[in-house]
Chain A
Amino acid sequence: MLPVLVVHGGAGHIPPERAKVSIAGVRSATRAGYAVLRRGGSAMDGVVEAVTQLENNPYYNAGCGSVLNVKGEVEMDAIVMDGKTLASGAVSAVRNVANPVQLARLVMEKTSHLCLTAEGANQFARDMGVAEVPAESLITDYARMRWRKNLQPDANPVECQMGKMGTVGAVAVDMEGNIACATSTGGMLNKMEGRVGDTACIGCGGYADNKVGAVSPTGHGEAIMKVVLSRLILFHMEQGQSAEAASDSGLAYMKSRVGGLGGVVTVDPQGRWAARFSSRQMSWAAAQKDTLHYGVAAGEHFTQSIDEPN
């Protein structure tokens, strides 16, 4: 059953013209992360590789392609967590960085802290020699078009966001049984400057524990925070629920208690995995035993050999 890697490219209602591209990116990121694990790489290396690929892909709301805040700027959140030691690193509202997930990993490995925010995170990036990229290089025409559209007084950014949530994330178990998760996002469309969503918050935007499993969520960030979704799903697994049942109960609770929609990828220490969502769609893919699984609409589950071209 090991190694295994599961990736999501965001939950929402994905327009048909974007669904194909969205699933293609998730599949290729899954292949890349799985290749790392197959070579004997750690779960942490695997999830960071997969998320880095999606950050670099302009079709997702993370890294290049991030949504814009109300001022038309990119501010990103990311987190990683290592299930062996519960070590974690996060950045919130960081700018001018191509790969926030890698910066989050540096926070975990090079500081005694767990989360750095805004200008402090950028200052740390400079000290670490992380290349600063121009803000423009992270902005796509699509992101700018959607920003303009939602500046209208009658706009509904939360509803519009569901058309491209696009937060990206991954969970994995490596051959040694170590578990990790990573999540990265540009946040919510037309958010206030300095808004931090669930992604940077441990237990909300991700959690990994070798004894229980790992979760990476996507969806309405404020709702995910209110129910501490990742930790909630893992509590259910500690109580004996399967990864799939726990994911479904966590998402159902979020919907009934705070009216929030979203999706998760979940894995347990034995390598059993789930990709579940309460939104209309979520692009996801999983790799296990040299087979690639993927889907985007509810109930969809395609498989192919990991070595087949996209």
Chain B
Amino acid sequence: MKAVIVVHGGAWAIPDEISQASIDGVKAAACEGFSLLKRGGSALDAVESAVRAMEDNAVFNAGHGAVLNSDGEVELDAVIMDGRTLACGAVSSVKNIANPVSLARAVMEKTDHVMLTSKGANLFAEGIGVVTTPTETLVTEYERKEWEKHKKYHTGVIELFNTQWAHDTVGAVAVDHSGNVACATSTGGIRNKMVGRVGDSPIIGCGGYADNLSGAVSCTGHGESILKVTLARLILSHIEQGKEVVDAVELSLRYMGDRVHGAGGAIAVSPSGEWAAKFTTERMAWASVECDILWYGLNPNEKFKQQLS
């Protein structure tokens, strides 16, 4: 069976000065995930490693490079889901963790629960020996400056900024050689969010969903809008009804725009390896690898091709 990985680095108005770094980042993450699939690794391992690569990359708003909340702190959300069993794990509003996606996976594998939040998630991390990272190491100088700048504006203005700026959630979906699908999503949320704000990323069916019977999805964009339409599950329900993967994604994004005026993007893959990367924001950095061909893009309808050696 054909193995495929698709990754995104967030759907928003990515400024020109970081567009190349964003493209390079998603390409590297997709290649990293694909190298696992090629060696016979599972979809679950592939999406985790791709998302870790982007969490470690300061150009993306997840892990290192995350945005700051209204108190100037980093609070991270992440989810991972295994389409074989529908097992899933999530963390919300967790601090001082470099790779929330791996902590989400530990919640899935080592507890009876699906989701741990806040201090409880940190206690669990400590309990299983995950190394704590000082907040300062997760914050880039760029983000601290942006946060200071935006702090000066009134809330309404901040929200306006937030509709276009700084939701660069990262995510990945994959199907492995055995036909298993998985998804993972990780984010720092939106800049100047209230303390304890949980967005779509860690919510099953919103920030991501994976089911071997229909496919896997990872979402990005305005979190509150994604939540209202349970975007990931909505896309898969269209696939269940017989829609092509790309049509299901476009239809659902359009519905989100019409019904709750939200913009965003999503990547999806079906168990047979059909995939799509679509968005209604100005830009979304995405990349995909199938059969040693790397596809990638940033602007609407862009699709570049690169043969991997």
Contact = CB atoms under 8 A, between A and B. Distances in A.
Nearest to B209: A228
A118 B197 CA distance: 10
Contacts of A195: 113, 115-117, 120
A114 B224 CA distance: 6
A121 B233 contact: no
Given A124-B196, A231-B230, A222 B112 contact: yes
Given A86-B259, A114-B224, A202-B228, A192 B113 contact: yes
B117 A93 contact: yes
B65 to A, nearest CB: 22
Nearest to A191: B113
A112 B159 contact: yes
Nearest to B121: A194
Interface in A147-201: 158, 188, 191-197, 201
Contacts of A193: 119-120, 123
B111 interface: yes
Nearest to A207: B230
A15 interface: no
B18 interface: no
Contacts of B86: 226-227, 257-258
A117 B198 contact: yes
Given A92-B92, A194-B124, A203 B203 contact: yes
Given A113-B193, A113-B197, A93 B203 contact: no
A88 interface: yes
Contacts of A86: 228-229, 259-260
A232 B213 CA distance: 14
Interface string B213-251: 000000000011001111001100100010000000000
Nearest to B85: A258
B114 interface: yes
A116 B198 contact: yes
Interface string A53-91: 000000000000000000000010000000001111010
Nearest to A88: B228
A231 B209 CA distance: 13
A137 interface: no
A202 B203 contact: yes
Interface in A190-225: 191-197, 201-204, 207, 221-222, 225
B194 interface: yes
Nearest 10 CB-CB pairings of A with B: A194-B120, A120-B196, A118-B118, A228-B205, A203-B230, A120-B195, A193-B120, A115-B198, A86-B228, A226-B86
Interface of A: 75, 85-88, 90, 92-93, 111-121, 123-124, 158, 188, 191-197, 201-204, 207, 221-222, 225-228, 231-232, 235, 239, 257-258
Interface of B: 75, 85-88, 92-93, 111-121, 123-124, 155, 159, 193-199, 203-206, 209, 223-224, 227-230, 233-234, 237, 241, 259-260
23 contacts: A75-B120, A86-B228, A87-B228, A92-B117, A93-B117, A93-B120, A112-B155, A113-B198, A114-B223, A114-B227, A120-B194, A121-B196, A192-B111, A192-B124, A194-B118, A195-B117, A201-B204, A202-B203, A203-B205, A227-B86, A231-B205, A258-B85, A258-B86
